[in-house]
Chain A
């Protein structure tokens, strides 16, 4: 039931009353709702005045579907990735009246969800995807799960059968609420159009506030069609209506002091920065903190971009396929300052042997992440940016000279690991095209200024290791769920979110074959994504595990693919091909020169591995650096 406010027949409950009393909305960290006075806000306002039916004489009845569009516009939504179907047709019937809501007709709902995800990751705003009931809704599920595991703000909207048919196994009825319940931050079933304004506003507030995440709204067909005069709530009313949702943003003063003391005492400290730093838009705060304390920064897969990789304190990417020098530094550290990361098993390996000398300060906005995977000495619950801004003044500036020995050791390790990784993979043999070379050239020729969207597998690790990231939110990767097929559709959303940047989808041949139907969306909607297809004609990461862990038993690792140039051509997408190192630069430049989407078919070495590699279950000190015939 809903809490009624100020209705004399129902005196407000204590909860509602208390909530209203402290109903100042907590400042949300990212401006999904455009800042007042900005050009964006003006556009939204124009859209509202010009098209919303609020307060106007209606030429037709205002129905639930109108309210939904109004509510989306009020949230500053500019694009939705969607696919129609029977029960959501009432919405499609009015969408034409809201031209400011750009509708991208995807070719598969999963692509729509990943596109919303990619859009959200590069903009920091809430991505929106929609689908119909039944199969439309279940097709969204993989994308919703991907967003959940990576804490991406998303609102997924589905139509459902008319409320009278719910529970009757009606045509295309599935209990999608039951399905998304454990894989969303929150979810809703709306049967009454009058609830729509509140629900949509709540959904956006929840999706973007605190630890971000996906929210699902399921709306019955009759609610979309129902006539309504429901008014949109204010932000304060939304916050008041969610008394159970009050994320803690500021670190506790006492904990901050404890952290400062740990930092002052540490001799070999390392910062572990994760996605939370990007969510909090705290990259400047992180750099200021690192510079003042002279602590090197390591990052997780999703933390890539928290610091310019050319910064002297930027040490590198950690974990299973991270840099050996970074893992070494972690294993010998006496203090880890973990910020907005969650000690995932791909980061720690076997926890028993993880960072054995280190005390841990752990900053996270989600209290449940602290002490979940590793025990920590100083827990700090709060927003990464706010905590860093509060912590930095509490620490004394450190003279780099006092860390000379430490830095010398780090420099030596780094030189060693960079030199060994380059040849460990063995792809240089026989003049084969090495994937790390391809990635490095893409990074160089795009001047590290593009958005780079990874797929999953070896290609993802090569991108993380070799592209050279210099800016926040330029690296997009499905880390938590590891969803193959993510790259092309997510890049589609990323390109729309940041049209000022070139957008590159880096994908393996396996992942590409999962979602390449979105090539047609790229063409139809003129979305200029450049696709770098790293074709090893294999499920490369599967092959690598089979080679190293399963004694070379290559079941299902070979993956015959189509003629990718013809495939691209069939979609009307220019394709370029590179089979030798000498062809790489020309292919990249040619793709860049295309005004619109383009594909480069890199036929890379078929048996190249990603090294180093920490076998699952092993520790960070047990890295495999080369294998079999790989030559030094």
Chain B
């Protein structure tokens, strides 16, 4: 037995660099499935940053886009835990894949008579869309990646944000491959 030199400590799983991950989960559209996913993430100590759910082209299948921060091993563990749910059909970590990522935000921005035109100009430059104009405020709709929306929000913050709502990212891998078709195989 090699007792002469003290062995190095065993590496723990995970403990790597934390980064933003995007998981796509295709699940059966059954009552409670959102609850199961949320409950699992809570119980396993994963912190969800955003979660977007809708049904897919087939009514009995839903699709969730989950963004969370963690190291690669921890997120892989999250994906494996999700697979344990009976209603989960497919989970894919698309973080490192070429994807289209879009999020939509509605921002109610304080706009006075004196700065309204400045606000509108800025919105136009940032490819936002004004969807409501009122006395003292405008509602702007922006779509883009999470960081594009972050940037827009930071930009208009100086005027004053009265309300902000974001959908959370929805993500789709580029190319002709299909996660939904993959589950049929």
Contacts and interface: CB of A to CB of B under 8 A. Distances in A.
A372 B79 CA distance: 12
Interface stretch (A314-322, A351-359, A509-517, A622-630): A351-359
Contacts of A375: 10-13, 73
B89 A13 contact: no
Interface in B22-59: 27-32, 35-36, 39-40, 43, 58-59
A9 interface: no
A372 B27 contact: no
Contacts of A355: 10
B10 A353 contact: yes
Interface string B99-133: 00000000000000000000000000000000000
A409 B9 contact: no
A185 interface: yes
Contacts of A3: 28, 60
A245 B7 CA distance: 42
A280 interface: no
Contacts of A356: 7-10
Given A15-B61, A18-B183, A353-B10, A244 B1 contact: no
A26 interface: no
Given A14-B58, A14-B184, A374 B28 contact: no
A1 B80 contact: no
Interface centre among A206, A242, A372, A374 (most CB of B within 10 A): A372
A367 B77 CA distance: 9
B80 A206 contact: no
Contact of B184 (A1, A18, A353, A357): A18
Contacts of B76: 371
Interface string B171-185: 000000000110111
A192 B103 CA distance: 39
Interface string A573-596: 000000000000000000000000
A242 B60 CA distance: 12
Contact of A352 (B12, B28, B73, B86): B12
Given A244-B86, A371-B77, A181 B9 contact: no
Task: State the main secondary structure of chain B at its contact with A.
Answer: loop
A244 B183 CA distance: 9
Interface in A480-526: none
Contacts of A332: 1, 3
Contacts of B36: 181
Contact of B60 (A16, A177, A181, A351): A16
Interface in A223-275: 242-245, 268
Contacts of B32: 177, 181
A31 interface: no
Interface centre among A15, A354, A366 (most CB of B within 10 A): A15
B130 to A, nearest CB: 39
A45 B3 CA distance: 63
A373 interface: yes
Nearest to B88: A244
Nearest to A206: B86
B58 to A, nearest CB: 4
Contacts of B29: 1
Interface in B117-176: none
Interface string A332-371: 1000000000000000000111111100000000111001
A320 B85 CA distance: 31
Contacts of B8: 356
A367 B83 CA distance: 9
A423 interface: no
A486 B8 CA distance: 41
A372 B28 contact: no
Given A15-B58, A181-B35, A368 B12 contact: no
A3 B60 CA distance: 7
Given A15-B58, A206-B86, A245-B86, A371 B73 contact: yes
Contacts of B59: 1, 13
A210 to B, nearest CB: 9
A47 B92 CA distance: 47
Contacts of B30: 1-2
B18 interface: no
Given A181-B36, A357-B2, A375-B12, A15 B86 contact: no
A17 interface: yes
Contacts of A17: 184
Contacts of B31: 1
Nearest to B35: A181
A182 B87 contact: no
Contacts of B86: 185-186, 206, 242, 244-245
A373 B85 CA distance: 20
Nearest to B7: A356
Given A181-B39, A356-B8, A375-B11, A244 B85 contact: yes
Contacts of B185: 18
Contact of B1 (A18, A177, A268, A366): A268
12 contacts: A1-B30, A1-B31, A13-B59, A15-B28, A18-B184, A182-B40, A352-B9, A355-B10, A357-B7, A368-B80, A371-B13, A372-B77
Given A181-B39, A332-B1, 20 more contacts: A14-B183, A14-B184, A15-B183, A15-B184, A178-B35, A182-B40, A243-B28, A243-B89, A244-B27, A244-B88, A351-B12, A355-B10, A356-B7, A357-B1, A368-B81, A371-B13, A374-B12, A374-B13, A375-B11, A409-B1
Top 6 closest A-B pairs, CB basis?
A356-B7, A368-B80, A18-B184, A352-B9, A332-B1, A13-B58
Interface of A: 1-3, 13-18, 177-178, 181-182, 185-186, 206, 242-245, 268, 332, 351-357, 366-368, 371-375, 409
Interface of B: 1-3, 7-13, 27-32, 35-36, 39-40, 43, 58-61, 73, 76-77, 80-81, 83-89, 180-181, 183-185
